[in-house]
Structure 1
């Protein structure tokens, strides 16, 4: 395995940056203890990358590091803690010599409730983790990524442009992540750094299970064509993210249907809103969510 190095931007004159070969690169991955983050780490490590595993709990991170072996290290940091993330990034640089790619992946699912009934703390906690946590992750790793002329990958969602009924805080966060990625793409270009966002559909992880854990969330799911809510495997999702990293993509879409919907979003979002507005199952789901809150008060 060769040592990690800065990436020469051959082809800049043509407006394109060279691809990133993962072998020897250092990836800084948040939310790495399980689910998508862990699978990204596994696949990157299998291709020769060195991985900094970052998460709230150290024990599962160390377990994954032991599973993967040489070229991994675990760093404890909650993405709501600016200082902890900075320490994790500094320690990763000290351990591996730098960071080539930051993958901002950590996220949580909100309770399936309406804007009128959700506990304000639950709403703001989701935004705190899913949007501000990604901003803090990028900011902490950015000095080294700039030094190495690397890549920033923000893990987004179809909820960046899907209607956020019963998941407004999550949709707000992912729409914000989209804007953060677009801004970074332009602001970092003079430094030879690229940035992108992964628009991912539902993934077969505990986060997706949490989204559909209650009856009213399941009712919303039934109101949408099954192709849009069928979870893809975590292996496929991780492979898509890493393929985007390798080609320094501004946008990654998975599964296959996400790309066309994203390309036609001015039409698909208007149609989606209209369908949801007039769907009886959706109205029933909203009633169920609000009734559940009333019953607890």
Structure 2
């Protein structure tokens, strides 16, 4: 297996590729010379497959649908070299005690189950081509917080899946990596952190420079570069990197501070009032 993957002539599949980071990543891959299968639950009415882009409607929570998407990709382009598991959702802020169980389960089904489904559907093709799978996790996977446990748990599960997958694929001539993003400036982030009053209050606890937002185009460029170099991990913005490495020391300190902070207690109580039945 080569340390670098030349993207020209390769075949990629991107989940959650119709908008946000996914759409920008598809454009970057095509610009680099790859053919791309774009998987999403829905597309704009004027979106159509053309040239080196194949649009496939499918729900990542359905393992059979992901198997069908991989098969369609191989039929159309003759193989599969790259998978970027990007699809994800963020629920409105809520506590563990107050969140609707169906909402929690849906986040896990998309953010973790969807990643597992596309990995299992595509793994044989990736091994056959000596390709690369990149899983999109989040800096939320390794930071303590409040009001977003479903998202954090799902992304922490993706992190562990990616670590195991990297070891297992290396033994059979393929590779895998993880991408951890802080706050990316997408419609999803703006809806969660800017348009939601509780989201704004929670987001206020993220200090500078950790609250710096990464443009979705820059996130896409970094993802494609990580595939090209078969990078084991990508942490962006780079200011999050020390936190990634020293989480074991920093998190107990931060957790203790959050537990004692009266402002945090007020947010938690307000969240539970909001979601009271």
Q: Give TM-score, length-normalised by structure 2.
A: 0.96
Paired residues for 1:109-120 under 5 Å: 109-120=90-101
Note if contact 1:220-1:281 (Cα within 8 Å) is conserved in structure 2.
no
Note if contact 1:61-1:75 (Cα within 8 Å) is conserved in structure 2.
no
> 1:62 offset after TM fit, Å?
6.4
Paired residues for 1:150-169 under 5 Å: 150-169=131-150
> 1:215 offset after TM fit, Å?
1.9
Name the CA distance, whole Å, in 1 between partners of 2:111 and 2:126.
21
Partner of 1:278: 260
Name the CA distance, whole Å, in 2 between partners of 1:229 and 1:117.
27
Could you say if the C-alpha distance between residues 61 and 268 of structure 1 is closer, same or farther in structure 2, counting changes exceeding 3 Å?
Answer: farther
Paired residues for 1:194-205 under 5 Å: 194-205=175-186
Q: Which runs of 4+ in 1 moved over 3 A?
A: none
Partner of 1:29: 14
Paired residues for 1:1-297 under 5 Å: 9=1, 17-57=2-42, 59-60=43-44, 63=47, 69-212=50-193, 213-294=195-276, 297=277
Could you say if the C-alpha distance between residues 41 and 266 of structure 1 is closer, same or farther in structure 2, counting changes exceeding 3 Å?
Answer: same
Name the CA distance, whole Å, in 2 between partners of 1:200 and 1:223.
17
Q: Deviations over 1:202-224 (max 9, x none)?
A: 11111112321322221121122
Note if contact 1:27-1:49 (Cα within 8 Å) is conserved in structure 2.
yes
Note if contact 1:26-1:51 (Cα within 8 Å) is conserved in structure 2.
yes
Name the CA distance, whole Å, in 2 between partners of 1:170 and 1:206.
16
Moved more, 282-291 or 102-111: 282-291
Name the CA distance, whole Å, in 2 between partners of 1:60 and 1:143.
31
> 1:87 offset after TM fit, Å?
0.5
Note if contact 1:216-1:286 (Cα within 8 Å) is conserved in structure 2.
no
Partner of 1:13: none
Q: Deviations over 1:156-201 (max 9, x none)?
A: 1001101141010110001100000000011111211111100111
Name the CA distance, whole Å, in 2 between partners of 1:205 and 1:235.
10
Which runs of 5 or more structure 2 residues have no equivalent in the other structure?
A: none
Name the CA distance, whole Å, in 2 between partners of 1:167 and 1:218.
13
Q: Give TM-score, length-normalised by structure 1.
A: 0.89
Output the aligned Cα RMSD.
1.4
